[in-house]
Structure 1
Amino acid sequence: MKAWKGKRVLITGAAAGIGRALAERLGARGAELILTDRDEAPLAATADAIRGAGAIATHHVLDVTKGAAILQVRDAIHASGGPIDVLVNNAGVVFGGAFLDVPLQKHLDTFSVNVLGLVSMTNAFLADLVGRPRAHLVNVASAAGLTAVPFASTYASSKWAVVGFSESIRLELARLGHRHVHVTTVCPLYVSTGLFEGARPPLFTSMLTAAQLADEIVEGVERDDVFVRTPWLVKLVPFLNGVLPTRLADALSTALGAAGSMEQWTGRAPEAPKAPARRASGRRPR
C-alpha cells in the first residue's frame, strides 16, 4: 500500500489507543476513514477530532461479537461510499491472572472478541478487498501470539489463533490468485494504552506507546510487510523458540522476565461512578 490518499480504511476498536493513533496517521495521509467501536462517546469524540484535523471520517458503533450488527454496518458502509480498500482488525480485550482465578466468562469473552470477532469482520469484508485493485488486511495480534505467556493463557492463545488465521488467509489469497490483497500481522510487546496496566516488559525492552506502534504499522503496511514485530526482542522470538530446546527456551524466558511479565497485571481501572447532581434548593449557603 504505497499511497493512502482516497483509500477507504475501516478500523475496529478505533475509539482510543492503537486504533485512534492509526486513524490520526492515516487521516493525515489522505485516507477516508471508517471508524468503529462499541463505546459510542469516545468513538464519536475520536471521529470529531479526526474531522477537525481536516480528514474524512465516519463512524459506526459496533460490537464485533455481533454478527448481524457487522452485516448492518457493512451495508451502511457500502451504501455511503462503496467497498473498502483496507481492513484493520484492531479491536481486542485482555484479562490477566492465574487461569482458575479468572471467571470463565472472561476467558470466553477473550476468544469471542479477539478471534471470532476478527474472523467475522474478515468474512464480512474480504470480498471488498478481493474486488479492489490493491487492498490490505491488517490483523493486530501480539507478541503473545508467538510464545507462551503464563497468567494470560487465553489472551496468548487467542493471539496465537490470530497469527495462524492471518498466515493461512495470506497463503490462501495467494493460491487463489489474489496477490493484490496483502496481509500484515502485527505482533507488538505491551502497549501503554491502559489494557496492560501492571504488566512488566521483559529486560532490555520498555512499554510501547500507541503512537510508536501506529507509526510502525503504517510503515510496515506501506512496505507490504508480512509481519510487524516490535520491539527488537520480539523479532528474535520465532527463531529462538524454533532452535532452542524447550527447557532452555523456558529458562531464557524466565531469565528475561517474559514468563512473569503478566503476574502483576491489573488492567485499566474501572471508571468511578459519577456522583448524582445535587438539586438546587434556592437557599444561599451559610
Structure 2
Amino acid sequence: MHYVLDFILMLPLLIVFCIESLVKLFIPKKKKSVAGEIVLITGAGHGIGRLTAYEFAKLKTKLVLWDINKSGIEETALKCRKLGAQAHPFVVDCSKRDQIYSAAKKVKEEVGNVSILVNNAGVVYTSDLFATQDAQIEKTFEVNVLAHFWTTKAFLPDMMKNNHGHIVTVASAAGHTVVPFLLAYCSSKFAAVGFHRALTDELAALGKHGVKTSCLCPNFINTGFIKNPSTNLGPTLEPEEVVENLMYGILTEKKMIFVPSSIKLLMAFEKILPERFLAVLKHRLNIKFDAVIGYKDK
C-alpha cells in the first residue's frame, strides 16, 4: 500500500516530465563547442573511428588517435592535419591493458589531459558458439568491453577533477537485442551498454554532472566487418550517416544514440509484447549475414 501511495504522489511529476520531453522534441538542441578540447578516439585507423576523427578535426580540436594498425592510424592523422587539427597517432592494441595504461601515460605527458574519450575500437566474429574459438571470445570482451574500463580509469580522474568531459561508448543495436551467430558480439555489446548506463548513474551519484556520457547503438554498418548483412529494418547503414548521428549526439549531449531511430521502437516492443509475437516479428525482420556454423546435428 505504501508503494501505491508513493506512485500516486509522484503522478504529477510524471505528467510534468512527459510534457517536458514532448515539448523538447520540437525545440532544436544547441550544439556545444569543443574547440580546443583534447579528443582521444580508439580504433581511429579505419571506419567509424576514422570518420569521427575527421569530424572532430573540423571542429578545431586536438586529436589523439589510437589503433593497432600503424599505417591506418598515420593515414588518419595525416588527413586530420590537412583539415587543420593537431593529430597525435599512437599504435595501441586495445586488447592489452598494459598497452592502454602505458599509452595513456604518454598521452598525458606529451599531449595533455584528454577531455573527450571515444571508446570506438571493436571486433566481431560472425559464427555460432561452437565455431567461435576461445581466443576469439576472449578478444571480443577484451576489446569491446574491458578496454572501456581501462581507458576510462586512465582519463576519467582528470575529467572528474575539472568536472568537465565526455565519455563516448560505441556499442550497437546488438547491445539491446540479440542476433543468432553473433553470440560473443551481442554479449559484449550488452556489457558495453551496461557500462555506459552504470557509469552515467555513478557520475551523477558523485555529483560530477559536468562529465557527460553518450552511447552509440547503430544497426548493421557497411564497414566490411560483417559480410553481406541485410534486414527488413532498412538498408545497411553507411558509415557517414552513423558518424553524422554520433557527432550530433555528442555535441547535444544525448545519452543514447540509436541509428536508425526506429530501433528505439523495437526496444520498447521487446519489453511489452508477448514472447510468441516477438518471435514472429524477428522472423519478419529477416536478419541475415554470412556466418560460420560449427554445430553439427548428428
Name the TM-score, length of structure 2 as normaliser.
0.85
Structure 1 residues 237 and 179 mapped into 2: Cα distance closer, same or farther (>3 Å)? Answer: same
Q: Deviations over 1:216-268 (max 9, x none)?
A: 1110011111100011331212201111122221221111113xx34x248xx
Q: Aligned partners of 1:168 and 1:144: how far apart in 2? A: 18
1:198, 1:265 within 8 Å by CA — same for their partners in 2?
no
Among the aligned pairs, what percent are the same residue? 33
SS in 2 for 1:206: coil
Q: Which residue of 1 aligns with 2:179?
A: 149
Point out the more displaced range, 227-236 or 176-185: 227-236
Deviation at 1:55, TM superposition (A): 1.4
Matches within 5 A, 1:37-76: 37-76=67-106
SS in 1 for 2:87: strand
Q: Which residue of 2 aligns with 1:98?
A: 128
Q: Deviations over 1:196-215 (max 9, x none)?
A: 22222x21411112111111
Q: Aligned partners of 1:110 and 1:119: how far apart in 2? A: 14
Q: Which residue of 1 aligns with 2:226?
A: 196
Q: Which residue of 2 aligns with 1:86?
A: 116
SS in 2 for 1:138: strand
Letter of the structure 1 residue corresponding to residue 239 of structure 2 = A
2:217, 2:256 within 8 Å by CA — same for their partners in 1?
yes
Q: Which residue of 2 aligns with 1:122?
A: 152
Q: Which residue of 2 aligns with 1:278?
A: none
SS in 2 for 1:9: strand
Name the TM-score, length of structure 1 as normaliser.
0.88
Letter of the structure 2 residue corresponding to residue 235 of structure 1 = K
Q: Aligned partners of 1:76 and 1:104: how far apart in 2? A: 32
Matches within 5 A, 1:271-286: none
**Deviation >4 Å, runs of 4+:** none
Q: Aligned partners of 2:260 and 2:71: how far apart in 1? A: 32
SS in 2 for 1:6: coil
Letter of the structure 2 residue corresponding to residue 254 of structure 1 = H
1:85, 1:132 within 8 Å by CA — same for their partners in 2?
no
Q: Which residue of 1 aligns with 2:38?
A: 8
1:17, 1:193 within 8 Å by CA — same for their partners in 2?
yes
Matches within 5 A, 1:160-199: 160-199=190-229
Letter of the structure 1 residue corresponding to residue 143 of structure 2 = V
Partner of residue 244 from structure 1, selected from 242, 264, 273: 273
2:229, 2:236 within 8 Å by CA — same for their partners in 1?
no
Letter of the structure 2 residue corresponding to residue 97 of structure 1 = S
Q: Which residue of 2 aligns with 1:216?
A: 245
1:62, 1:69 within 8 Å by CA — same for their partners in 2?
yes
Point out the more displaced range, 24-33 or 105-114: 105-114
Structure 2 unaligned spans of 5+:
1-30, 293-298
Q: Aligned partners of 1:119 and 1:248: how far apart in 2? A: 37
- The RMSD of aligned alpha carbons is 1.4
